Amino acid sequence: MNTTAKASKAEVIKDASMLKQKEMMAKHYERLANAEANGEKVVSTFVPGNLNELLMCFDLVNNLPEVNAIQSGLRRQSGAYVMEAEKSGHSEDVCTYVKSDIGMMAKGNIGPNGKKLPNPDVLMLSYTGCFTFMKWFELLREQYKCETIFLQTPYMADGRITPNMIQYMVKQFKEDVIPKLEAVSGVKFDIDRLREYLRKSAQAEEDLVYILQSSKRRPSPIDAYFGGIYYIGPIFGAFRGTDDAIDYYRFLRQEVDQRIAAGLGPVTPDGQMGEEKYRLVVEGPPNYTNFRQFWKMFYEEGAVVVASSYTKVGGTYDFGFRHDPDRPLESLAEYCLGVYTNRSLPMRIEMLVNYINEYEADGLLINSIKSCNSFSAGQLLIMREVEKRTGKPAAFIETDLVDPRYFSAANVKNRLESYFQMVEQKRGGAGKGVAA
């Protein structure tokens, strides 16, 4: 297998799996662009609480506004979109994913392939772990005037899933979500079709967990944050429950196995990573407008991320959850309930502490995102608690998802360099770790 390839345009080194994923994404965006011509109906929905298997039962094509915003960020288009939304009355204080999406719509809704994204036939508002989702789709509904289906996922505030939560969600599926999807799509619900998709999901999920946990090794063969974002793409997006996802994760697993066998670390945009000096756990989403520059600040210093919370926003499979074809609706409910941002703050602290211990990390880095209160509110307490419980140093940086105005490269780099020095000092026993 060809493990790496050079994309000539920006001279970015990519794994073969990344190229494979790029092809999958390109194909999906083409399908979206041609949906109307091909008589396919489109559903817009979200990553956390994504019900892809259920939506496929109705032959709906999955469009994810969050992913579109990420694509706009990576292509440096989101800044203009955000400002376009602010010009039309949206507050500078609120989520930039929302504003990027609304600004993109105002400017013609052109997708990453340069073709217009279709208007959704239905908005599947799966409200999981983020209040903003609810307002986001109310805003889109105002524009598109299409059917909007709401699925409320109760918050796992007390660290457990109760029977009342499951019953509530299953009732919503049966009495509201499924009948409305049937009406919009004209396709009758077939639970056996759902079971089959869920079976495929579980298969891909096994490989995903193997890949994400491969970073317990030294050196880690993957970067579980920057690289991890690529790895979660298919399963968090439009491919969960498909053969494509099974193929992709099997392929990726083989690629990771090859790196393990060769004793290699992750592949970065500048090629094979050098010596692994620091092993970090990262909490919070990344910045997308300066994604490569941000990543470089890590790998240039020999820092590899061995575990991250962001790669669990679309499912916490590493804790054992698998979609279960024998309990299809209950399983979808449990999936939604378990996503990272639907977990209470004490659960998040526990999870990060365990990551630091299990992945033998040097410490915790929090990338606090201005846009995302779901992640950000409480992170300073998380930092203190994780430091207290692990004795490992933590650091705090602030950026934004897709608003380039909130990425200050010099500040971030400065913070990171100080943090790595602190890790060195800690290793040398030069006093207790404190926040950078």
Partner 1 sequence: MSTPQTSEIVARCQALYEDLNFTAAREWKEAEPGRKVIGFMPIYIPREIIHAAGMLPLGILGGGDQLEVIHGDAYYQSYICRIPRSTIELGVSGRLDFVDGMLFPSICDVIRNLSGMWKVMFPGVYSKYFDVPQNYEDEVGGRFYVNEMAEFRRDLEEMAGRKITDDDLRRSIGLYNRNRRLIRELYALRARTPWKAPAAEVYLVVRAGLVLPVEEHSALLEQYIAAAEAEDRPIRDNCRIVLTGMFCEQPPLNLIKSLELAGCYIVDDDLLLVTRWLIDDVPLDGDPLHNLSQAFLHQSESTAAKYEPDQEEKGKFLVRAVKRTGAEGVIFAAPSFCDPALLDRPMLQNVLTRANIPFIAFKYAENSGQMQPIREQAGTFADSIKLWSAA
Q: Which of residues 48 and 219 has its CB atom nearest to partner 1 in the complex?
A: 48
Least distance in Å: CB of 172 to partner 1? 6
Q: How far apart are CA 76 and CA 72, in angstroms?
A: 6
191 binds partner 1 (CB under 8 A): no
112, 274, 302, 378: which one binds partner 1 (CB under 8 A): 378
Rounded to a whole number of angstroms, the minimum distance from the CB of residue 151 to partner 1 is 9
Closer residue to partner 1 in complex, CB, 143/421: 143
> In the complex with partner 1, which residue's Cβ is closer, 87 or 218?
87
Determine the distance from the C-alpha atom of residue 199 to the mean position of all C-alpha atoms in its chain, rounded to a whole number. Answer: 22
* Farthest CA pair distance, the chain: 67
Mark the segment that binds partner 1 (CB under 8 A) among 70-78, 114-122, 278-286, 372-380: 372-380
> Angle formed by the axes of helices 226-236 and 243-262, to 10°?
160
- ∠ CA 289-291-294 to the nearest 5 degrees? 115
Binding span for partner 1 by CB under 8 A among 8-16, 156-164, 236-244, 317-325: 156-164
Site for partner 1 in 387-416 (CB under 8 A): 398
Is residue 189 near partner 1 by the rule CB under 8 A?
no
Cβ-based neighbours of 378, under 8 Å, separated by 6 or more:
345
Q: Which stretch binds partner 1 (CB under 8 A): 166-174, 190-198, 232-240, 257-265?
A: 166-174
For residue 89, state whether it binds partner 1 (rule: CB under 8 A): yes
Q: Are residues 118 and 63 in contact, defined by beta-carbon separation less than 8 angstroms?
A: yes
Long-range interactions of 328-333: CB distance < 8 A, separation 24+:
328/191, 328/194, 328/195, 328/198, 329/169, 329/170, 329/173, 329/174, 330/166, 330/170, 331/198, 332/51, 332/53, 332/54, 332/169, 332/173, 332/198, 333/153, 333/165, 333/166, 333/169, 333/170, 333/173
Binding residue count for partner 1, defined by CB under 8 A = 53
Residue type for position 179: P
Selected from 368, 419, 420, 433, the binder of partner 1 by CB under 8 A is 368
User: Least Å distance between CB 418 and partner 1?
Assistant: 18
Strand-pair category, 60-63 with 122-127: unpaired
Give the tokens for residue 58: 């109705």
**What minimum distance in Å lies between the beta carbon of 367 and partner 1?**
12
Q: Which of 176, 247, 276, 324 is close enough to bind partner 1 by CB under 8 A?
A: 176
Please choose, from the candidates 388, 395, 320, the residue with its C-alpha nearest in 3D space to the C-alpha of residue 349: 388
Among 75, 87, 116, 135, binds partner 1 (CB under 8 A): 135
- Three-state DSSP at 122 gives strand
Residues 53-82 that bind partner 1 (CB under 8 A): none
Q: Which tokens sit at 278?
A: 């620091």
Nearest-approach distance from CB 158 to partner 1, in angstroms:
8
Is residue 179 a contact point for partner 1 (CB under 8 A)?
no
Binding track over 326-345 against partner 1, x by CB under 8 A: ------------------xx
164 touches partner 1 by CB under 8 A: yes
Contact assessment for residue 280 and residue 266, using Cβ atoms and an 8 Å cutoff: no
Please give the residue ranges that form the binding site for partner 1 (CB under 8 A): 88-91, 93-95, 98, 127, 130-132, 134-136, 138-139, 141-142, 145, 148, 150, 152, 154-155, 157-158, 162, 164, 167-168, 171-172, 175-176, 344-349, 368, 370, 373-374, 376-381, 385, 398
